[in-house]
Chains A and B, each alone.
Chain A
Amino acid sequence: MIQEIDTQTYDQLDKSGPMLVEFYSKTCGPCKMLAFVLRDIDKTLPDFKMYTIDYDENQELKERLGVKGFPTILLMKDGREMDRLAGLKQKPVIKKAIEDIL
């Protein structure tokens, strides 16, 4: 499941269990590509929670989470960051990172 969220929704999320948070920008080609990669992963892992957040629109949140650029993927478990992938990555790399937190 992929869901677009903002800071307020992020703060209210039930963060129990594993999830993926991606910071993207509308002005970023690799982010656009990553959207297709995540969509493909979502087809194989429909129950895994994936959230996308607009980097430019959520400045305070990205600073709070120490996100310095886009795209950035945070792999989280029970609200704690377990891993971070900076830049565009291919499916096997992201899948492996997800498997590590499942």
Chain B
Amino acid sequence: MSQKVKYTSSEHLITRQANAEKEFLAQFEENKYTIDNPFVVQNPYLINPLCALILFHTPRETAPTVTVCGKRFEREDLRHTFAADTFHKLPVLGLYEDFANRVIISLPDGTEKEIVIQTAKLPQDVCRCLNIMTSADYMQDNFMFLTPAGKNLPTAYDYKGDIRWLLTENTMFDIKRAANGNLLTGSSRFCRMPYNSTGLVELDMLGKIYKEYRLPGNYHHDQFEMEDGNLLVLTQDFHRETVEDMCVLIDRNTGEILKQWDYTTFLPQDVAGSGSQDAHDWFHNNSVWYDKATHSLTFSGRHQDAIVNIDFDSGKLNWIIGDPEGWPQDMVQKYFFTPVGDVANFDWQYEQHAALICPNGDVMCFDNGQYRAKKKENYIKNRDNFSRGVRYRIDTEKMEIEQVWQYGKERGQEFFSPYICNVEFYEEGHYMVHSGGIGFKDGYAADMLGPFLDAKDPAVALRSVTVEEKDGTVLYELETEGNFYRAEKLSIYHHGENLCFGPGKLLGRLDVTPEFDTVPDAEPVDAQPDAWHNIVIEEDEDRMVFHGRFERGTLAMICLENDKESHHYFLNTSASWHLAMCSGAFLEDDDRDIKMNISKEGLKGKFAVKIIINDKKFDTGVSFFCP
């Protein structure tokens, strides 16, 4: 049989990182490394080319300081002092790319050691800063972390717009710093189209993953860390017809699901649809926020133009912020607000993202404004539209709402993002507004979302603009290439443990991949499918991802077979059109290229992978082992 099917088997990144750590620690043990002769390993956890790790011993406990010298002058130096110890493991973060970085290790007794770490050039297609307006005084030691909305990479920019942190893994959606200093963001592992990944990962700034929290319904869009460390994560149930309409609370240590909220229990699914709604993705939940003061959860539902608040314990609806047009009258009377105050300048939010509750109970969100109407005949074209950050004050007794702040409306289409984005509340009067989904075609706001635009077309430009405003003055504005899902301003070091050794953990579980119970008649052939099908089978520790190219309308099915049993998975080769595409990370250039994830959950033994293509059953020659 000639080899036309490609097969790869790789360990989970957690395993590869554990092996790499074991290896460099073994090398470190081979010699006696001191501050004069420290052990240096660049990119120790394989996915952050702008970092290094320095290891050495001192005879007595001491608290070393690492200084990553600025490119231009001392004012730009990044400095962090670590806890006193005799064994020192010092992450060196925020290196400049393609540069001989001066790094100084100093001890309280005045001992200093300077080393030079030469970094390589970053991949050509990283998204560069195009413009930045801020100051070192304003940004201090913070970088702006942007998470990708496509095949671009998670990237952080300093006050000059230089890239100082980048992961070569396409982790996605929200990024937040947990109370322990680690980052929480979406896994890069594909599970289901359009953008569902296996779960959530907890990692440090070096890129070391401590935990991956897998979810049967996968992860999308957002998460929130509770005070006790447990995590609220947005998910869904793929065994039913609708998506992006569930939230779960997971145990931080075990990944076990402790509680879940199903939005179909408190919202009608067939009313007040936004311009992007369909029956499948009726709500399109893109954010979750827990408010301790009211013990409630707030969800943003893009496809109902609604911000919804429910009681944490009972799951009962408290209120809805949104244009009431199209909602049942009894719901409007009970749950919706009436605008008060400067109503002439009041606007409802449409297809919004990232709703949050301010300390005083106000509600903020990024109002994308897509369509900016409930009825089709009133839809606003993107080029005539605007996006903004908005803050509403709500009175839940009188059911009144007042718009108390907005930023962005005045910028019109140049700040318009029809999808993604977020806002941040820092303190009274101090906010961030991230418009990361800007797309232009022929100089106007494009009619399509960024992932569907051809970035190679000279008439197309994808942009991300992040603004910070304090007391009405813009103190920060970053414009980059590409589209970025969210922005988060973070210091690269934190006051907790910046690195812990030991293998990461794969927690939770994927679901059993649904099978198809009818098997079409197909003649077995002793051959692999034609090379045109470009079949690639990637095996991982807990799943297999099948890639293949099929003409539209092809009947295709994956069959896992051994002597005792067989399992069948239907491959949909029809053209599919997604009304929402918050991350284009998994989109293929050729829409005949399709992929399917098959979890090892529920499977045991060794299976031959076969593929039915129309009336023939081909043997891929690949076997798939499920422990």
Give B516's nearest chain A residue, CB to CB.
A90
Knowing that A27-B553, A30-B574, A88-B570 touch, tell me 4 more A-B residue pairs with CB under 8 angstroms.
A29-B553, A29-B554, A29-B572, A36-B519
Contact residues in B for A29 (Cβ distance below 8 Å): 550, 552-556, 571-574
Give B571's nearest chain A residue, CB to CB.
A29
From A29, A36, A37, A92, name the one whose CB has the most chain B CB atoms within 10 angstroms: A29
- How many chain B residues have a CB neighbour from A under 8 Å? 19
14 A-B pairs within 8 Å (CB atoms) are namely A25-B553, A26-B553, A29-B556, A29-B571, A30-B572, A33-B520, A33-B570, A36-B519, A36-B520, A37-B518, A88-B570, A90-B516, A90-B518, A92-B517
Fill in one digit per residue for A64-102: 1 if any B CB lies within 8 Å of its CB, else 0.
Answer: 000000000000000000000000101110000000000
* Minimum CB–CB distance for B517 against chain A, Å: 5
Task: Say yes or no: is A1 at the interface (Cβ < 8 Å to chain B).
Answer: no
Which of A23-56 touch B at CB < 8 Å? 25-30, 32-33, 36-37, 40
Which of B484-526 touch A at CB < 8 Å? 516-521
Fill in one digit per residue for B173-185: 1 if any A CB lies within 8 Å of its CB, else 0.
Answer: 0000000000000
Residue numbers of A with Cβ under 8 A of B are 25-30, 32-33, 36-37, 40, 88, 90-92
* Minimum CB–CB distance for B335 against chain A, Å: 30
Fill in one digit per residue for B567-584: 1 if any A CB lies within 8 Å of its CB, else 0.
Answer: 000111110000000000
CA gap between A92 and B553 in the complex, in Å: 24
Give B557's nearest chain A residue, CB to CB.
A33
Pairwise interchain contact A28-B574, C-beta atoms closer than 8 A? yes
* Minimum CB–CB distance for B480 against chain A, Å: 39
Of the candidates A25, A27, A32, A92, the one whose C-beta lies within 8 Å of that of B520 is A32
Contact residues in B for A30 (Cβ distance below 8 Å): 570, 572, 574
Of the candidates B517, B521, B552, B572, the one whose C-beta lies within 8 Å of that of A90 is B517
* Minimum CB–CB distance for B556 against chain A, Å: 6
Pairwise interchain contact A28-B521, C-beta atoms closer than 8 A? no
Contact residues in A for B570 (Cβ distance below 8 Å): 30, 33, 88
Closest 5 CB pairs of A and B: A27-B553, A32-B555, A29-B573, A36-B520, A37-B518
* Minimum CB–CB distance for A66 against chain B, Å: 14
Give A36's nearest chain B residue, CB to CB.
B520
Pairwise interchain contact A91-B518, C-beta atoms closer than 8 A? yes
Give B555's nearest chain A residue, CB to CB.
A32
Chain A interface mostly? helix
* Minimum CB–CB distance for B552 against chain A, Å: 6
* Minimum CB–CB distance for B474 against chain A, Å: 47
* Minimum CB–CB distance for B237 against chain A, Å: 16
Contact residues in B for A28 (Cβ distance below 8 Å): 552-553, 574
Contact residues in B for A88 (Cβ distance below 8 Å): 570, 572
Give A70's nearest chain B residue, CB to CB.
B574
Residue numbers of B with Cβ under 8 A of A are 516-521, 550, 552-557, 570-574, 614
CA gap between A37 and B521 in the complex, in Å: 11
* Minimum CB–CB distance for A46 against chain B, Å: 17
Contact residues in A for B571 (Cβ distance below 8 Å): 29
Are A36 and B518 also in contact (CB < 8 A) when A29-B571, A29-B572, A30-B572 are? yes
* Minimum CB–CB distance for A38 against chain B, Å: 9
Give B241's nearest chain A residue, CB to CB.
A87
* Minimum CB–CB distance for A52 against chain B, Å: 16
CA gap between A97 and B573 in the complex, in Å: 26
From B520, B570, B572, B574, name the one whose CB has the most chain A CB atoms within 10 angstroms: B574
Contact residues in A for B572 (Cβ distance below 8 Å): 29-30, 88
* Minimum CB–CB distance for B282 against chain A, Å: 14
* Minimum CB–CB distance for A42 against chain B, Å: 12
CA gap between A88 and B555 in the complex, in Å: 12
Pairwise interchain contact B518-A27, C-beta atoms closer than 8 A? no
Contact residues in B for A33 (Cβ distance below 8 Å): 516, 518, 520, 555, 557, 570
Pairwise interchain contact A91-B553, C-beta atoms closer than 8 A? no
Of the candidates B516, B517, B519, B553, the one whose C-beta lies within 8 Å of that of A32 is B553
CA gap between A41 and B371 in the complex, in Å: 45
CA gap between A33 and B615 in the complex, in Å: 11
CA gap between A36 and B614 in the complex, in Å: 12
Contact residues in A for B555 (Cβ distance below 8 Å): 29, 32-33
CA gap between A25 and B552 in the complex, in Å: 11
* Minimum CB–CB distance for B548 against chain A, Å: 12
Pairwise interchain contact A27-B552, C-beta atoms closer than 8 A? yes
CA gap between A36 and B615 in the complex, in Å: 12
Give B519's nearest chain A residue, CB to CB.
A36
CA gap between A51 and B408 in the complex, in Å: 56
Contact residues in B for A27 (Cβ distance below 8 Å): 552-553
Give B520's nearest chain A residue, CB to CB.
A36
CA gap between A65 and B516 in the complex, in Å: 29
Contact residues in A for B556 (Cβ distance below 8 Å): 29
From A32, A33, A36, A40, name the one whose CB has the most chain B CB atoms within 10 angstroms: A33
* Minimum CB–CB distance for B109 against chain A, Å: 72
Pairwise interchain contact B518-A40, C-beta atoms closer than 8 A? yes
* Minimum CB–CB distance for B181 against chain A, Å: 46
CA gap between A42 and B609 in the complex, in Å: 30
Give A32's nearest chain B residue, CB to CB.
B555
Contact residues in A for B516 (Cβ distance below 8 Å): 33, 90
CA gap between A27 and B575 in the complex, in Å: 10
CA gap between A26 and B573 in the complex, in Å: 13
CA gap between A28 and B570 in the complex, in Å: 13
* Minimum CB–CB distance for A82 against chain B, Å: 19
